[in-house]
Structure 1
Amino acid sequence: MVVTNMKELCEYVANKRKSRSHQHAENIRIYGACRGMGNRRYKLPQKSSFPKQYKAAFNKIWR
């Protein structure tokens, strides 16, 4: 779309915002509102690397 003056630009922007709002409302109606992932999917256990000198398996207790 070619806009030649400010009045057309304002009208174009207003129509664009209305259409985007309508499209967003349709998506919410179909898929539901946006939500976060939750802790179960967000917090994943990472590889832990602790010094072996403090673990019981590497102490003199077990030797």
Structure 2
Amino acid sequence: MCDSCAGIQLNWRRAPGHAELAQRRNRKEERASGLVTVTRYQCERCATIWDYENDTQNLHAGWSVVKI
């Protein structure tokens, strides 16, 4: 994992990513609060794959590592 990816704050909504994250696809997932959007990203430098969950009802949604 590159230094930029290592600096991403996990599981916190509105935490920024970094400039080398390329957006891949979006999907909708069901949560207790309703449907949320989950966006897949891949780092162009180190190839780490990330999901960003945008759930306005959950402050602990946000960035999560899918694959290093």
TM category (shorter chain) comes to: under 0.3
Instruction: Answer with 1 or 2: which has the greater Rg.
Output: 1
Provide TM-score, normalisation by structure 1: 0.17
More relative contact order, 1 or 2 (CA 8 Å, 6+ apart) = 2
More helix by share: 1
